[in-house]
Amino acid sequence: MFSPKPPQTAIARMFSISLPLLSWFLLGAVTPVLAQDSPVGFNPQLWLQQALQSIQDLGTLGILAFIGLYIIATVAFLPGSIVTLGGGVVFGVIFGSLYVFIGAVLGSTLAFLIGRYLARDWVAGKIASNPKFAAIDEAVGREGFKIVFLTRLSPIFPFNLLNYAYGVTNVSLKDYVLGSLGMIPGTIMYVYIGSLAGSLATLGTGAATADPQAELLQRILQIIGFIATVAVTIYVTRIARNALAESVGEQVIKGE
């Protein structure tokens, strides 16, 4: 049976009210700052580089500021690759990877919850009358961890958009968060490439990627991503086919 959304516990109701307010607050607070330093309007890469430069001078507080910046970038559809590379410059490979992963998990989870409590009802209303779509959604929910994990391994699926998209599916929050482990290989690679840059000013210029080790790592990650893309495509197709078969079988039994 298709469920429009998770049961509305007190915590769920709190999220449904507070998350939209928080997201709009973050965007409202950041937007004026984003535009003030650019003569042609908002330049996300330039602003993120400037923010990273400020974080570099904050010392210990820079850790929290960096994680906060990553959360904002994720929710606001800003280029997270710049922040990930910057993590390597500012904190080095080990701590940079750790802080990037924390920021990415928190930011993607916030986006997931915003999508769930703002858009899930609308999506539920659209597909509840279609048993085939409902069956697919339920099946995807049952295999949530594997699907999220594989899509996190693949660079083809857009990270920021996918966070909101999963929110309107039947994937559980637990499976979604655990599936974020798939981000680890890509996180470490990009943080490492950032550490080779040595300067925030060179981020996005391709200087660090000219290093032979960086090129090798990129190729390895591309291969892993390709395999993950094929795997998730086959896997989701199989799930959808089985779900549709079950749905059609149930309709035949009911005489519909």
Average pLDDT for 33-38:
48
User: Measuring CA to CA, which residue among 175, 194, 178 is closest to residue 97?
Assistant: 194
In this structure, what token pair is assigned to residue 188?
Answer: 């470490």
Residues in the chain: 256
Are 90 and 49 in contact by the 8 Å Cβ rule? The answer is no
Write down the pLDDT at residue 59. Answer: 85
Write down the pLDDT at residue 109. Answer: 96
In this structure, what token pair is assigned to residue 124?
Answer: 């539920």
Residue 149 reports pLDDT greater than 60 = yes
pLDDT digits (tens, 9 = 90+) for 49-92: 889 999 988 988 999 999 999 999 999 989 888 999 999 999 99
Torsion of CA 133, 154, 191, 198, to 10 degrees: -120
Write down the pLDDT at residue 2. Answer: 40
Write down the pLDDT at residue 237. Answer: 78
- Alpha-carbon distance values, 230 to 1, 150, 154, 155, 156 (Å): 30, 9, 9, 12, 11
Confidence category of residue 13, pLDDT binned at 50, 70, 90:
low
Averaged pLDDT score across all residues of the chain: 77
Over its C-alpha atoms, the chain yields an Rg (Å, rounded) of 20
The residue extents of the domains of the chain are 10-254
Average pLDDT for 2-19:
50
Average pLDDT for 227-252:
71
User: Measuring CA to CA, which residue among 256, 180, 190, 254 is closest to residue 222?
Assistant: 190
Are 176 and 109 in contact by the 8 Å Cβ rule? The answer is yes
d(CA 52, CA 69): 9
Model pTM above 0.85: no
pLDDT digits (tens, 9 = 90+) for 191-235: 988 888 777 776 765 555 556 666 777 778 778 877 887 887 787
Write down the pLDDT at residue 96. Answer: 96
> Cα 150–156–162 angle (5° rounding)?
70
Confidence category of residue 97, pLDDT binned at 50, 70, 90:
very high
In this structure, what token pair is assigned to residue 222?
Answer: 């591309």
Output helix, strand, coil percentages for the chain, rounded to the nearest 5: 80, 0, 20
Q: Strand, helix or coil at 134? A: helix
Q: What percent of the chain shows pLDDT beyond 90? A: 28
Amino acid in position 111:
A
Q: What percent of the chain shows pLDDT beyond 70? A: 67
Q: How many CB atoms lie within 10 A of CB 9?
A: 9
Most confident of 28-37, 40-49, 53-62, 171-180: 171-180
Residue 31 reports pLDDT greater than 60 = no
d(CA 70, CA 67): 5
Most confident of 20-34, 115-129, 174-188: 174-188
